[in-house]
Amino acid sequence: MLIIYEGFIKGAHAADGGNSTMSILTFRKTDFIPDNAAQQKIVIAVDGPAASGKGTLAKKMAERLGYAHLDSGALYRAVAMTALEIGADCNLFSDVEPALKIVLRNLTPELLSCPDLRTPEVSEAASKVSAIPQVRDALLKHQRDFAHNLPAYVGGVVIDGRDIGTVVCPDADIKFFVTASVEERARRRYLELQSEKKEASFVKVLEDLKARDHRDTTRKVAPLVAAEDAYILDTTTLSPSQTLDETISVIRSRFLSDSAEYPAKASQKAV
């Protein structure tokens, strides 16, 4: 049996005094949540490389299901942006530590949705600070606290990042690994920058993405890799709405039966 929820309002999360990124207060009509959702919160992990569309997908999925959403990349970006502001070397924990402390004291929805987090400089710096084990440890705690302290009226949470299905929530109910060819990801990022009237060269965007992929997949701690039980979604030829529909149909088949389709598409392929 399925439960239909209605209503969708943005707001702050009360579990940590309103200091987190939780953005769901009530639910929006359209989809379903299994009827045990009130007792057992559903955790959906969405991992994938930079510019794969996982962030947009996770946000839309959360809206559609009436779940909370956490963009874990924004946490690393916030540390990186603050580190740049104080002139830190983003490869050194001793330099980045003060920025980490500032961010952990100030994890507001405003900070995590700040457009300045999305500049190419912050993207590159985020990929560097995220390779520092102490930074990962501190942010891991925040992510788990978020996932385990959902308000009673929220049926679950969608968290997107690089290591959600492998490290942050290895017991997630459903794991997606969203990917696309690096050229297609660069094309999307390039068009995005153009639409924001930002100067960009396609070749530079492609090079930056390759460098970030390399750093994310080869770092010692929590490298970007698909969980063994993840559903691999290659979005190279899919539009955002087709991608969302595909994930919703996977979620449906997952909850409605032990469909052979899930996780039949999973493989070890990372990027």
Encoded amino acid at 133, one letter: P
The binder of ligand C5P chosen from 99, 163, 166, 231 (CB under 6 A): 163
Helices (H), 15-71: 54-65
How far, in Å, CA of 94 to CA of 103, rounded? 15
Please, what is the minimum distance in Å from the beta carbon of residue 184 to ligand C5P? 16
Asked if 130 is part of the footprint of ligand C5P (rule: CB under 6 A), the reply reads yes
Asked if 247 is part of the footprint of ligand C5P (rule: CB under 6 A), the reply reads no
Place of tokens 């993207």: 123
Asked if 271 is part of the footprint of ligand C5P (rule: CB under 6 A), the reply reads no
Strand 42-47 and strand 174-179: pairing? parallel
Q: Which residues pair with 228 in a beta bridge?
A: none
Asked if 179 is part of the footprint of ligand C5P (rule: CB under 6 A), the reply reads no
Q: 187: which residues sit within 8 A by CB, 6+ positions away?
A: 202
Query: Which of residues 37 and 61 has its CB atom nearest to ligand C5P in the complex?
Result: 61
Of 93-101, 156-164, 195-203, 246-254, the segment contacting ligand C5P by CB under 6 A is 156-164
Residue 219, both tokens: 């770092």
Please, what is the minimum distance in Å from the beta carbon of residue 162 to ligand C5P? 4
Of 71-79, 90-98, 106-114, 201-209, the segment contacting ligand C5P by CB under 6 A is 71-79
Asked if 147 is part of the footprint of ligand C5P (rule: CB under 6 A), the reply reads no
How far, in Å, CA of 41 to CA of 36, rounded? 8
Asked if 69 is part of the footprint of ligand C5P (rule: CB under 6 A), the reply reads no
